[in-house]
Amino acid sequence: MSYPTRLLSPGETIKYELRPHWRALIAPVLVLILIAFGGTWLYFFTDNSIVRWIVLGAGLVFAVLWVILPFLRWLTTQYVFTNRRIILRRGLITKQGRDVPLSKVNNVSFNQSVLGRMFNFGELQIESANTDGSLFIQDVPNVEDIQRNVYQLQEEDDVRRRSSGGGATTPVLPTDGT
């Protein structure tokens, strides 16, 4: 599911589009395996049909809460970096979004744990001049590269704004001969 280009401003292009790192799916997969093997064992261990229904119901509830919902959260979370802004979108039924214009970015830093270094992910912190404060983006794949690329996008945006705004601010004086 890619970010819809109809939501971009004229002249705005997508440079990077990411999802959270795949390691966010490790725990749901392990829970799914545990539910499958444990539920199957409990189901065939008992002869009571009521207990079997309880095992099936509990397995279904656990699967929805700890497998399906985390997978849908991962699937519907997008980190989009354009030539003008940083876009964070989450949600399937209800949407949450936050945009930070590159012109408002003051600082971009990252944190990477030992596990993050092993699997190449981390947290990106974007400090902006907005009243909302900092933007924390967790589970960013290739976080060091993204940090460096955000600085490059910020510089390109600054050059674009300076070159397009320089000629428009010069006043035009009337030449009526007086």
Report angle CA 77, 119, 26 to the nearest 5 degrees.
Answer: 60
Domain-embedded: residue 44:
yes
Residue percentage of the chain with pLDDT more than 70: 91
The pLDDT of residue 40: 94
Strand partners, 99: 87
Domain-embedded: residue 2:
no
Residue-wise pLDDT tens digits, 120-148: 999 999 998 876 778 999 999 999 999 99
Q: What CATH number has the domain bearing residue 122?
A: 2.30.29
Residue-wise pLDDT tens digits, 46-76: 999 999 999 999 999 999 999 999 999 999 9
Domain-embedded: residue 170:
no
Question: pTM here?
Answer: 0.81
Q: Residue 154 belongs to what H/E stretch?
A: helix 143-166
CA distances from 41 to 34, 54, 67, 70, 117 (A): 10, 13, 19, 25, 38
Is residue 167 scored above 80 in pLDDT?
no
Q: For residue 76, what are its two tokens?
A: 């519907």
Residue-wise pLDDT tens digits, 7-58: 999 999 999 999 999 999 999 999 999 999 999 999 999 999 999 999 999 9
Q: Residue 89 belongs to what H/E stretch?
A: strand 85-90
The pLDDT of residue 170: 44
The pLDDT of residue 172: 46
Number of domains in the chain: 1
Domain-embedded: residue 173:
no
What is the sign of the dihedral through the CA atoms of 61, 62, 63 and 66?
positive
Domain-embedded: residue 122:
yes
Q: How confident is the model at residue 173 (pLDDT cuts 50, 70, 90)?
A: very low
Domain-embedded: residue 110:
yes
- Find the length of the chain: 178
Domain-embedded: residue 140:
yes
Q: Which domain holds residue 42?
A: 11-164
Q: For residue 39, what are its two tokens?
A: 């539920």
Q: How confident is the model at residue 169 (pLDDT cuts 50, 70, 90)?
A: very low
Domain-embedded: residue 4:
no
